[in-house]
Chain A
Amino acid sequence: MRFTFTEEQNKFRQTVRDFLQAELKAGIFVTKSGGLAEGNNQEFSKKMAQRGWIGLTWPQKYGGQGRTYVEKAILIEELFKVQAPVAYHFLADRQIGPSIIHFGSEWQKEYFLPRFVKADENMKFCLLFSEPNAGSDLVNVATTATKEGDFYTLRGQKVWTSGGHQSDYGWLLARTKIDSSVPRHESCSQFIVDMKAPGVTVRPIINMVGCHTFNEVFLDEVKIDRKFMVGQENDAFKQIMAQMDYERAGMERLLQNYPVYEKVINYVKEMGKTRKGDPFYHWVQDSVAQLEIEFNIGRLLCYNTAWTIDMGRKPTSEAALTKAYCNQYEQRLNDLATRVLGPASQIREGSPWTLYDGEIADCYLWSPSYALQGGSVEVLKNIVALRRLELPRK
C-alpha cells in the first residue's frame, strides 16, 4: 500500500501542470466546466501529441510511450482540473486506439495509430453505438451491415452521437447476422465508418442545456470496404466489453465539473469570513466537507482502477463501480453548488447578476447526462452484482 506518488510521478505531474499553465496564460483556452464536450481544438491536441501525451499507455511499437495507467490518470487529472480542450483526440486516445491495438488488423494499426498519436488532421472519432431501440439494451441494435463481396452495406439509424457533427470517423456497432436462432450478442460486428461517406447524414439534437453535442446519424446504403471491419465478424460484444472498461475507468468521470467544485470551496472560504455564526454557514460547511470526502474517495477509486489495469487485471467491476460512484458524486456536486450559491446561481451566461457566467446553472443542467452516458448507473450496478458478487441472473 502506498498512497503517495513516486518522485518520477510527481515530476511528470509538474511537467503537465507547467504546460497547462503556460497555455492558459497564452489564452489558448479558459477553465470552464464542459471542456470535454466543447473543447475541440486540434492545435492543442497536436501540442499534447508532441509531448507524447496521446497514446501514453500504448506499446512503443504503435507509437505509444508504454507508460502506466496510473501516470495516465495523473495526466487526465491535471487536464480536467483546468478543463483543457482535449475533445479532438480524447476518444481515439481513450478507447479507439486501445481497441485497434487489441482487435484491429495490421492495416488498421498501421493506418490509424500513428495518426492518432500525432493528432493528425481528420482523425476525430465519434461512437455509433446507441440507437432509438438500443440504449441500455445495446444488444438490440437494428442497424445492419450486409456483406457484398469486398464491401459491407450499412443501413440504419444511430442516436446520442456526441460530437458526430465534428467527427471524421465513427466507431460503429452493427448487426452482421440476421438469424433469430443465433444469440443477439453473437451476431454483431464493429466497423470504422467515414463520416463523410455518401449516405451518412448527421442531424443535430439540441440538449436541455441548449448545446449541440448530440446528433442523430442516419446510414442509408453506406458502402464501406471490408478492411474497415474491426476484429472478428460477429465478435463485437466481446470486444465492446473490453473497450467499455477503458471508457469507464478514467479519472475524467470524476472531474467533468471540477471548476465548479473549486469555485464552491473558494466561495465557502469567503463566506466564512463574515458568516461564521450563521446556521446556513454550518449547513454549508457540513455539506461541503461531505463533498470533499466523496471527492477524495472518488479519486482513490480512479487511481485504484488505473492500478488494477497496470497489474494486468481486467478492471471490469472496478471500472463499473468507480464510474457509478463518480457519476453520482458529480450530480450531488452540481446540486449542492446551486444551493450554496443560492438563487442567483440560476442566472445564466449573459444576464446581469449571473454568478461565474452561469457555469453553475449549466452544470446543474448537464448533471443527468453523467449517470446515463457510457453505461447508466443501473447497468453499472448490474455489472457489480453479476460479475463481482456473482449473483444469479435468473
Chain B
Amino acid sequence: MEFNLNEETKMLQSSAEKFCKEKSPSPFVKNMIKDEKGFSEAHWKEMANLGWLGLIYDEKYGGSGGSFFDLFILFEEIGKTQLPSPFLCSAVFAGLLINEAGDENLKKTYLPPVIQGEKILTIGLRNEQGQYDHAAAALEAKESGGGSYVIKGTRILVPYAQVADEIIVCANLKGEKASGPTLFKVSGKASGLKKTPLNTLTGEKTFGVVFEDVKVSEKDILGAIGKGTTYVDKVLPKVITLKCGEMVGGLSKVLNMTVDYVKQRIQFGRPLGALQVVQHYCADISTFLDTSRLIAYQAASLIDIGFPCAKEVAMAKAWCSDAYKKSTQIAQQLHGGIGFTEEHDLHLYYKHAKVAELDLGDSWSHRQKVAEEMGF
C-alpha cells in the first residue's frame, strides 16, 4: 500500500492542471454549451500534441504506451474544470474498442488518426431509454446480400455525433451463417442517419441518432460476429473508471468552491464557515472526496497493473456516483441563492454530477455487480 503519485505522474498532473485552468475557465465552458461544436478545435489539437489522446496506445499506432493510471489522472484534471471535448468517446471508448476488436489493418487505419485528433469517433451504445444495451441490442443489422448489411434502429445520447467521422455501434446481427451482437463502425456521413441534437442537463453536445436502413459492409464489422458484447464489456471498466476520475475531479472543485465561499460569506456578523453546522457539512464533502479518490484510484491502479478488478471498478462507480451528487447537493445548500444562478459556476458541477451518475450505470446497478462478485 502506497498512496503517493510517482514523480512522472506528478509532472503530468501539474501540466494537465495548468492546461485545463488556462484553456478551460468557467466562462469558456459556459460558452461551449451554446457553441454548435461544443469544444475548441484548437484545444483538441493541443491535447493531441501533448500526447494525451494516445497516452495508453501502443507506439506503433502513434501512442506512447503510457500507463492507464496516468490517463486517469488526466481525467481527474479535466473533471476539475469541465473541459469539454470528445476525448472520452473518441480516443478512449471508440479507440479501445478498435484496439480490442479490430484486426491489425483496421487498427493501423484508425488508431493513428484518432490519436492525432484528426479523426473523431463516437459511440452509439444506448437505447431509447438511455441504457447501454450491448448485451441485447435493440439496434438491428440485417444481411442484405453481397456482404452487405442494413442497420435499423435508434441510439440516443451519442456524444459529438455531429462531428464524428464514425459512430461505433453494437447491433444485433441476423445473418444466415452467423448472428448475435456485433460491433459495426458507421460513417458519420452515411445516408439514412438522422441526427437530432439533444438539450440535456449539462449541455454537452450529444445526439439522438436514428438509423434508417443504413447500409454498411462486412468491412465495417469490428472483430468477430456475435462477440460485440464481449468487446464492450472488456472496455467498459476502463471507461467507467475514467468517468470516476472526472467525478473525483469535479468533487474536489466543489469542495474548494464551497470552502472558499463559506469563508468569505458573512452572516450573523461572522463567516458562515465559523458555524459548526456549516463546518460539519464541509467535513462531509471532504470525506466524500477522500473516500471517492481512494476507491477510484484503487480501480485505476489495479487496471493499470492488470489485476482482476471487476468488483473494485463497480465499487468505485457506485460510491463516486452517490458521493459526488450528494456533495453538490450540500454545496448548493451552503451557497444559498447565488449557487442557484446561471452566473455562478456551481451549477456546472451540480449538473455534471447527475449526468455522470446516470451514465454507465448508477450506484444501484453497480451495487448489483458488487453483490454478484460477492457471490450473492
Contacts and interface: CB of A to CB of B under 8 A. Distances in A.
26 contacts: A1-B300, A4-B1, A269-B374, A285-B376, A286-B368, A289-B367, A289-B376, A292-B370, A296-B315, A300-B291, A303-B1, A303-B3, A304-B290, A306-B1, A321-B287, A324-B287, A381-B283, A381-B284, A384-B282, A384-B286, A384-B287, A389-B259, A391-B262, A391-B271, A391-B278, A391-B279
Contacts of B2: 1-2, 307
B290 A301 contact: yes
B274 to A, nearest CB: 5
B319 interface: yes
Interface string A377-394: 010111011101111111
Interface in A1-15: 1-5
Contacts of B162: none
Interface in B258-301: 259, 262-263, 270-271, 273-274, 276, 278-280, 282-284, 286-287, 290-291, 294-295, 297-298, 300-301
Given A297-B291, A297-B295, A290 B282 contact: no
A285 B283 contact: no
A391 B315 contact: no
B376 A268 contact: yes
A347 interface: no
A70 interface: yes
A390 B9 CA distance: 28
B109 interface: no
Contacts of A303: 1, 3
Interface string A355-384: 000000000000000000000001011101
Given A268-B376, A391-B263, A393-B274, A300 B298 contact: yes
Contact of A378 (B280, B302, B367, B374): B280
A196 to B, nearest CB: 42
A333 to B, nearest CB: 15
A231 interface: no
B129 interface: no
A3 B370 contact: no
Most-contacted residue by chain A among B1, B2, B371 (CB, 10 A): B1
B287 to A, nearest CB: 6
A91 interface: no
B318 interface: yes
A297 B4 contact: no
B337 interface: no
A160 interface: no
B366 to A, nearest CB: 8
Given A288-B374, A389-B279, 15 more contacts: A70-B1, A265-B374, A268-B376, A269-B376, A285-B376, A286-B367, A292-B370, A301-B290, A304-B294, A311-B4, A381-B280, A381-B284, A382-B283, A385-B279, A385-B280
Interface residues of A, number: 44
Contacts of A293: 295, 315, 318-319, 367, 370
Contacts of B207: none
B376 A272 contact: yes
Contact of A382 (B4, B276, B290): B276
Interface of A: 1-5, 70, 265, 268-269, 272, 285-286, 288-290, 292-293, 296-297, 300-301, 303-304, 306-308, 311, 321, 324-325, 378, 380-382, 384-386, 388-394
B286 A392 contact: no
A300 B295 contact: yes
Contacts of A382: 276, 279-280, 283
A142 to B, nearest CB: 25
Q: What 9 pairs across the A-B complex have the smallest Cβ distances?
A: A385-B279, A289-B367, A381-B283, A384-B283, A391-B273, A289-B370, A289-B371, A2-B2, A300-B294
B374 A392 contact: no
Contacts of A306: 1
Interface string B345-376: 00000000000000000001001101100111
A249 B302 CA distance: 25
Contacts of A2: 1-2, 301
Contacts, number: 141
Nearest to B315: A293
Interface string B235-278: 00000000000000000000000010011000000110110101
Contacts of A289: 318, 367-368, 370-371, 374, 376
Most-contacted residue by chain B among A4, A265, A296, A390 (CB, 10 A): A296
Given A300-B294, A385-B280, A392-B271, A1 B3 contact: yes
Per DSSP, chain B at the interface is: helix
A78 B279 CA distance: 35
Contact of A286 (B280, B286, B371): B371
B5 interface: yes
Interface in B324-338: none
A285 B371 contact: yes
Nearest to A382: B279
B293 to A, nearest CB: 10
Nearest to A385: B279
B75 interface: no
A2 B5 CA distance: 9
Contacts of B283: 321, 324, 380-382, 384-385, 389
B302 A392 contact: no
Contacts of A301: 290-291, 294
Given A297-B295, A325-B291, A391-B282, A5 B318 contact: no
Contacts of B273: 385, 391-392
A265 B284 CA distance: 28
A392 B270 CA distance: 9
A1 B312 CA distance: 15
A386 B278 CA distance: 11
A290 B367 contact: yes
A291 to B, nearest CB: 10
Nearest to B256: A389
Contact of B368 (A285, A300, A391, A393): A285
B4 A1 contact: yes
A288 B371 contact: yes
A389 B282 contact: yes
A391 B305 CA distance: 39
